Amino acid sequence: MLDIISHDRIVVLDSKYLNLNYLNEHYQIMLTIACRDIGQPCDCVLSGESEELLKSAAEHAVNDHGYNEEEIMTPEMQQNIKSHIKRV
């Protein structure tokens, strides 16, 4: 679960339904993802806003970890990546 504190309420989002664009547009938060959190032996930590971060993570996985684009774009892999994104 991801808790976001707004001015007048707390919004709880299940990471399964995490919409990064919505979070960025409404809460303007910076997001990060670390390869080690996903189980990769890599010190890379990426940060960015919404879909920009997903694109960067996918490019890194292809370029540095040997994944192909088809593997990265599967719903399961996208969910795995999203589930490890943290807000700063």
Sketch the domain layout of the chain as residue ranges: 2-87
Segment 25-77, tens digit of pLDDT: 666 677 899 999 988 899 999 988 777 888 899 899 999 999 998 888 888 88
| Rounded Cα–Cα distance for residues 44 and 60 (Å) | 9
Sequence-separated (6 or more) residues with CB below 8 Å from residue 48: 30, 31, 56
Sequence-separated (6 or more) residues with CB below 8 Å from residue 49: 24, 29, 30, 31
pLDDT beyond 60 at 18: no
**pTM, to two decimals:** 0.64
pLDDT at position 19: 62
pLDDT at position 27: 62
pLDDT at position 31: 86
DSSP 48: E
pLDDT, greater one: 24 or 62: 62
Residues 32 and 42: beta-carbon distance below 8 Å: no
Residue with tokens 């892999």: 77
pLDDT at position 35: 92
DSSP 9-26: -EEEE-GGG--HHHHHHH
